[in-house]
Amino acid sequence: MAEIVRMPKMSDTMTEGVMAKWHKKVGDKVKSGDVMAEVETDKATMDLESYWDGTVLYIGVEEGKAVPVDAVIAVIGKEGEDYKAALDAETGSTPAKEDKTADKPADEAAPAPAAAGLTDADIEKMGVTVVRMPLLSDTMTEGVIAEWHKKVGDKVKDDDILADVETDKATMEVMGYAEGTLLHIGVEKGQAAKVNGIIAIVGPEGTDISGILSQGDAPAKPAADQKSDAPVAEKTAAPSTESSSEKEEVSADGSRVKASPLAKRIAKEKGIDLKQVSGSADGGRIIKKDIENFKPAEKAAPASASAAPAEKAAAPLPVYVGEEKFTEKPVTQMRKVIAKRLSESLFTAPHFYLTMSIDMDGAIAARTKMNEFAPVKISFNDLVLKAVAIALKQHPNVNSSWLGDKIRYNEHVNIGVAVAVEDGLLVPVVRFADGKSLSRISAEVKDFAQRAKAKKLQPADWEGSTFTISNLGMFGIDEFTAIINPPDACILAVGGISQVPVVKNGAVVPGNVMKVTLSCDHRVVDGATGSAFLQTLKALLEEPVRLLI
């Protein structure tokens, strides 16, 4: 019988996996224990083993594609076996889906022709212009009609202002860029319309616009042979924030320069004089493409010296023409999980922060002496980790977790250590840290860091923390706040050691100070509890001999 292979859950935070590489293909023989593929999870790339003997009959996921946990990725069975029945039983057969649509009444099988039949070309042939709510700012989702300057039946010219629109940042003017009669107003004064929603229609008087209105706010279908030289978006592009005098550019012969608001805005940003630009749209109107293709070298030569004013003119400021660029990359599995878990933590757990300065003179001297005898080099981070572990034993309320209807007070101390890797952040766990020597802690942390960067960590390495430490001191950071790593109740953000003046015995002397910030889940840890923990941590690091008692 054919066996279905599903995407396994390889870690406690995994919701989907990316098929990094297939080691088998359809028709290959497999045995139980053979590695079929490599799967990239949110934290590592791991081997996917077969649990059956047989032949690979089906592969349902291409390399590089992501699929959710428990999704069907392959089928294994006897060579030549019909696996489709088993596969259909898991995924649902296509005919069944087709029957559902076939059983629908005729009036529900497809949308009305009037609602989906009009294309941009059809609307253009009608001589109609659909005015939509433009995107007037990067954060705008809707606009409120503050005032209509025209009413249904009024004649409209291409440079007439139809309405004032109130956005989230300013009140701006909307121009129709069309000539004809105002046939329809879709939003009353004081009401809001979503971006790209129909707010007005301009066209020949008496035109039947019911077909356009039946489509709602959905844009018309583009015609198959439509040219891309003058996009429809130019008709409804966001108007610029220029003053009315700037909008009415006048050429040398006294005629008005016609330009889309988007073209005007780009021209203003680039310092381009619209009078020097030739428009390629209907009626010589200047659009975005004309501004982008305009070269300053094409500007007319300056007037002769005899026409210059008597006084020497100030030297013109140089114009810098910039170009907006960006690169987009797919979000990695690791980054998806980091975003999801930390967003849930920050917006679910009520964070508060406690910062304390610690005199590290004693720790510096102790570390120097320890490294003369230690089998591995002990870092300041190792000292902090050991001190945190001992402090947690004295303050079990900090070594806890919020579980909704109860609080778990952990009697063991497992400390997660945040490690930066290329794609994000991993948090391997030093287990039972309170009972380990500094040399043992140092060796484990170094091993974790190497395997994390090589993506060789296993789920057991990053699960089960009761407290987390994030250290950015090596990057020159003085202090920062960190987001709690669920299900922990606290995380300690460790800054660098700074040489600063300090007061000792009434005198100002050079000192070495390190700032630490404890982020606390207020559902579990109160201010006094967190403060007591930091006081113990401070005492341990300022007198490191206490770490050995």
Annotated catalytic residues are 522, 526
Sheet of strand 415-417: strand arrangement: 351-359, 507-521, 490-504, 467-471, 415-417, 429-430
| Residue 544 to residue 364: CA distance in whole angstroms | 9
Q: Are 139 and 168 within 8 A, CB to CB?
A: yes
Identify the CA nearest to 215 among candidates 110, 112, 133: 112
Q: What burial class does residue 468 get, using C-beta atoms within 10 Å of its C-beta: 0-12 exposed, 13-18 middle, 19+ buried?
A: buried
Radius of gyration of the chain (CA): 34
Phi and psi at 23, nearest 5°, equal: -100, -10
Give how far the C-alpha of residue 274 lies from the chain's centroid of Cα atoms, to the nearest Å.
Answer: 37
Identify the CA nearest to 131 among candidates 101, 112, 114, 152: 152
| Residue 216 to residue 197: CA distance in whole angstroms | 8
Phi/psi class of residue 369: alpha, beta or left (left: φ > 0; alpha: ψ in -120 to 50)?
alpha
| DSSP conformation letters of 325-348 | -----PPPHHHHHHHHHHHHHHHH
Phi and psi at 113, nearest 5°, equal: -55, -35
Q: Are 517 and 533 within 8 A, CB to CB?
A: no
Q: Calculate the CA dihedral of residues 459, 463, 468, 469 and round it to 10 degrees.
A: -20
Structure tokens at 149: 């300057």
3-state class (DSSP) for residue 512: strand
| Residue 35 to residue 22: CA distance in whole angstroms | 9
Give me the residue label for tokens 């003119």. Answer: 313
Looking at residue 171, the DSSP 8-state letter turns out to be E
| Residue 17 to residue 1: CA distance in whole angstroms | 27
Q: Within a 10 A sphere around the Cβ of 356, how many other Cβ atoms?
A: 17
Give me the residue label for tokens 């359809």. Answer: 26
Write b or e for each residue in 417-429: b if 16 or more Cβ atoms lie within 10 A of its Cβ, otherwise e: bbbebebbbbbbb
